[in-house]
Amino acid sequence: MSVRRQLSFDDLGTPLMDALLVVVDLETTGTDPSSDAITEIGAVKVRGGEVVGEFRTFVDPQRPIPAYIASLTGITDASVSGAPTIEVVLPMFLDFVGDAALVAHNARFDISFLSAQAARCDIAWAKPAVLDTLELARTVFRRDEVRDHKLSTLAAHVGASITPDHRALSDARATVDVLHAIIERLGSRGASTLEDLTSAHRRATPVQLRKKHLADAVPSVPGVYEFLDAQGGVLYVGTSRNLRSRVRTYFTAAETRRKVLDMLPRAESIRVIECTTATEAAVRELRIIGARKPPSNRHGLNPEKAHWLRLGSGTEGLRAARLARSEADGSAQIGPLSSRHDVEPLRGLLTDAVLGRGSSFELGSRRDPPQDAGHHDRIRAAMLTDPREVLDHVAGRMRGHVEGGRYEEAEKVRQLALTFLAAGKRAARLRAIGRVPLLVAARPSADPVVGGRGWELLAVRHGRFSGTALVSTHADPVAVARSLAATGLGEAEPATPMCQGYHQEAEILLTWLEGDGVRTVLVDGEWHQPARARFDAQHLAERFSRTATVPGA
């Protein structure tokens, strides 16, 4: 039996009592993130008004500290002598932050330095939620209450336990006290979640305030929402695990997208489609967008359109294609590609790898048929099953560029190879799922169900969504799977090669099927995850490493 939980009020956002926040302050050699460096990082981790951790370290800026900065902060060249560099410190700091939101006074300064240093060190920047106590203070403390919104002024005004002194940890500790005073003020105005806090310094537009009643009847369940005009036409479609929470954000200052703000004046009602799971909602959203083509949506408007690179079976050679076709005649195709502009570079890559640089590949041309047939088979193998010949060619070209100091050229070749690998991987996945008449799989539910833990079941027919259900651990998932197999037949259209026309939907289902803990319950036909390891960037890295010259050889 399918069951669904009722989402709690906590699902409307992250309660401030539960929110993990890291208040950070930096000292630097100057004000330009692109040319100056960090000299000290201080941070305080808080939750529910309590300090749960602190982080503080000097950082060797690997350059002299200007005299006026040393005078202001007290941090001199001697202070940072022997300190770790930012390459060492930044990963440690990001590990300390984890999934927490970042808080800073004049956050633009601190975050710009952190993100710039992450880019310079080639460290992934996760773009965490950011709270700026300067912006929030300007909303909470008016000029008739404080003379300015400097950290020192605010710390004195709220009775902070420490006086900021232009040292990272002291300033971070003072900012914590200012933050808690701000939260107390905003709490009396109804701010109770982290999301409320991030937008508290902005103001909703008059249209948003006038239309916010449209969200009143939206339930707190997974599903799809449609903004409708006065005639019932669909203006915009979206999806969420919590429809009420998501739709409410469109009428707050947190919503700043131009396409949404331009749409809201025409919106007269909101229609919702409740779904059993978030996967079903994502598929329904795609189908509605493809069928109704809402003017304010951009992604998914034309699911039938795609770009493929096809190897013909006869005299076609390698060509761009807009429709996927059967490969039973000896043809092959990879994609869908991100852009039609990828076709010619990929065509050149494959022909260069098999025939040699600057060659062309056209069956029936001046080349003799046996030679062309052999080339055809090699290119087809590279596209469908074994890209090693192409990757060896790429690795050799990259090595030549690197040894010649042409690093930008080496990177261009690498990016083209990654485009080829991504296209081959996408095609392999779509080819595999599109051949299966019916597949019912189960995985542990990401959301609680009635009775506690449970299973989420998904039925797929030829790469099309056919049905889903939530089952408690006390129910029989096989019985529910058989029920899904016997119903939902109308959900599946006749199979098309490579899931042509619904590849985006198929890729949503494939991502689900590749998740942790997935088990096959029922299958009609043959289903196996395609062997895609060869179409992986790691495979390219391994081929490139083999081209390195062995010392003494």
- The pLDDT tens digits of the residues spanning 16-36 come to 888 899 999 999 999 999 889
Q: Which two tokens stand for residue 321?
A: 């294609």
Count of C-beta atoms within a 10 Å radius of residue 479: 11
Q: Rounded to an integer, what is the distance from CA 33 to the centroid of its chain?
A: 25
Q: Is residue 342 part of a domain?
A: yes
**pLDDT attached to residue 6:** 37
Quote the crossing angle between the two packed helices 343-355 and 369-384, to the nearest 10°: 120
Residues 138 and 184 in one domain: yes
pLDDT of residue 434: 92
d(CA 21, CA 47): 6
419 and 398 part of one domain: yes
| Domain of residue 69, CATH code | 3.30.420.10
Residues 254 and 315 in one domain: no
Amino acid present at 105: H
Q: Look up the domain containing 152 and give its range.
A: 17-191
Q: Please state, in angstroms and rounded to a whole number, the distance separating the CA atoms of residues 253 and 115.
A: 25
42 and 178 inside one domain: yes
- Per the structure, the count of domains in the chain is 4
- Residue 473 in any domain: the answer is yes
Residue 449 has a pLDDT of 62
Contact indicator for 264, 207 with CB cutoff of 8 Å: yes
Residue 339 sits in the same domain as residue 418: yes
pLDDT band at 451 (very low <50, low <70, confident <90, very high): low
Kindly report the CATH number assigned to the domain that includes residue 223.
3.40.1440.10
Q: How many CB atoms lie within 10 A of CB 194?
A: 18
For residues 331 and 376, give the distance between their C-alpha atoms in angstroms, rounded to a whole number: 9
Residue 477 forms part of a structural domain: yes
Domain membership of residue 482 (yes or no) is: yes
pLDDT at 185: 85
Q: Are 317 and 391 within one domain?
A: yes
Question: Catalytic site residue 166?
Answer: yes
Which is the catalytic residue, given 105, 149, 157, 166? 166
**62 and 157 in a common domain:** yes
Which of residues 425, 449, 466 is at a domain's end? 425
Check whether residue 229 and residue 347 sit in a common domain. no
Contact 147, 3 (CB under 8 A): no
Question: Measured between alpha carbons, how far is 531 from 385 in angstroms, rounded to an integer?
Answer: 8
pLDDT for the residue numbered 529: 66
In this structure, the answer to whether residues 320 and 270 fall within a common structural domain is no
List the single range of 71-80, 203-212, 252-261, 385-394 with lowest mean pLDDT: 252-261
Helix (H, G, I), strand (E, B) or coil at 218: coil
Average pLDDT over residues 233-254: 89
DSSP-assigned letters across all residues of 493-551: PPP-GGGTT-HHHHHHHHHHHTSTT-EEEEEES-------GGGSHHHHHHHHHTTSPPT
Nearest to 250 by CA among 236, 234, 233: 236
Domain match, 421 and 455 both = no
CA distances from residue 11 to 6, 7, 242, 504 in whole angstroms, order as listed: 10, 6, 7, 28
